[in-house]
């Protein structure tokens, strides 16, 4: 017996409408019907997976996060820059390039949840647009197996 995929992720929202608009406008997620629970919820669809927002009076954990692939990293980068969403405080930078070529950018949603935006190939990014990519190797030396680490396993379609 084994899990076959991640079905959904749930994150806290201090204001459901503000958080839902963030995920709709920045990531193109779509609202779908949600059941009623003891606490208000909004469910969003992203492809065949879901993000569930639940309203609770609790702070978001500082390092727990969800990682999202996007179809246009530069557009998300520019929108995040425009809205002041970057989070350099969780790590040493808000955007990193791994030695094997993938990229990760860190944002905070309106409720304070950390969102990692991932991209498979730094060479496809326009460095005149995405101007502040930092090498992860400069902050934390990558050696041994960590040099080959990847977010993108074989067989995953982009």
Residue 34: CATH number of its domain: 3.10.180.10
State how far the Cα of 74 lies from the Cα of 124, in Å rounded to an integer: 10
- Main-chain phi, psi angles of 76, to 5 degrees: -65, -40
Same domain, 91 and 138: yes
- Residue numbers of the domain that contains 115: 65-150
Number of domains within the chain: 2
**Per DSSP, which regions of the chain are E strands?**
8-13, 30-32, 41-46, 49-55, 65-69, 95-97, 103-108, 114-119, 134-135
Each residue's pLDDT expressed in tens, for the chain with a length of 158 residues: 887 888 899 999 999 999 999 999 999 999 999 999 999 999 999 999 999 999 988 888 888 899 999 999 999 999 999 999 999 887 878 999 999 999 999 999 999 999 999 999 999 999 999 999 999 999 999 999 999 899 987 654 44
């Amino acid at each position: 017996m084994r899990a076959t995929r991640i079905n959904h992720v749930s994150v806290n929202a201090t204001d459901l409408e503000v958080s839902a608009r963030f995920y709709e406008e920045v990531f193109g997620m779509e609202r779908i019907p949600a059941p009623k629970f003891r606490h208000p919820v909004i469910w969003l669809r992203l492809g065949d997976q879901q993000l569930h927002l639940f309203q609770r009076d609790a702070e978001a954990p500082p390092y727990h996060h969800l990682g999202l692939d996007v179809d246009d990293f530069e557009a998300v980068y520019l929108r995040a820059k425009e809205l002041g969403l970057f989070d350099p405080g969780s790590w040493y930078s808000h955007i990193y390039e791994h030695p094997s070529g993938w990229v990760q950018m860190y944002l905070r949603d309106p409720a304070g949840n950390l969102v990692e935006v991932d991209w498979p190939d730094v060479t496809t990014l326009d460095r005149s647009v995405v101007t502040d990519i930092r090498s992860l190797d400069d902050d934390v030396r990558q050696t041994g197996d960590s040099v080959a680490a990847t977010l993108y396993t074989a067989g995953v379609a982009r």
